[in-house]
């Protein structure tokens, strides 16, 4: 598969991606655990069918020490015993926040469960992360960003 456009080849899209990357860096500086952040990125990318983001975030998570079992079971997190209650709450919020077009929104019980595990700043970070990864997913799916060749840290020079 060939990408439709190279987002780093244009000054306009390069600038946009730098701002997106800046938002991602701000989220990395929050107290929301990095392992949770990667799980959220992976789950939203699975739902959205974003191969490029899945390639990137599974490799980044593995490089940060995430286990192969936990990475393999993200899509089936409800049945898997390898996630904490806090991670489950984040994954549920991710699914509802990603599937807004299904018309369900985020039910109060999903939000309240997340609020049991995360403080206000973490909830804001989690919400922003869900919005950001969904934006990245849409850009990559529309541009047909290919997957399989991502190398850990590959985009650090584009920030």
d(CA 152, CA 59): 6
pTM summary value: 0.93
d(CA 42, CA 159): 21
Instruction: Give the mean pLDDT per block of 10 residues along the chain (159 residues).
Output: 76 85 93 97 98 96 96 98 98 97 91 98 98 95 90 72
Q: Which fold has domain 31-145?
A: AhpD-like (1.20.1290)
């Amino acid at each position: 598969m060939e990408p439709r456009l190279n987002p780093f080849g244009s000054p306009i899209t390069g600038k946009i991606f730098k701002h997106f990357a800046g938002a991602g860096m701000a989220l990395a500086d929050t107290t929301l655990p990095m392992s949770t952040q990667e799980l959220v990125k992976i789950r939203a990318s699975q739902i959205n069918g974003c191969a490029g983001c899945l390639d990137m975030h599974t490799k980044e998570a593995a490089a940060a020490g995430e286990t192969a079992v936990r990475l393999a079971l993200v899509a089936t997190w409800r049945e898997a015993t390898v996630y904490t209650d806090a991670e489950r709450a984040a994954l549920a919020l991710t699914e509802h926040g990603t599937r807004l077009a299904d018309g369900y929104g985020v039910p109060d019980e999903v939000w309240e469960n997340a609020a049991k595990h995360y403080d206000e700043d973490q909830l804001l970070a989690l919400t922003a992360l869900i919005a950001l990864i969904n934006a990245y997913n849409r850009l990559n799916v529309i541009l047909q960003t290919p997957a399989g060749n991502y190398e850990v840290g590959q985009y650090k020079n584009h920030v």
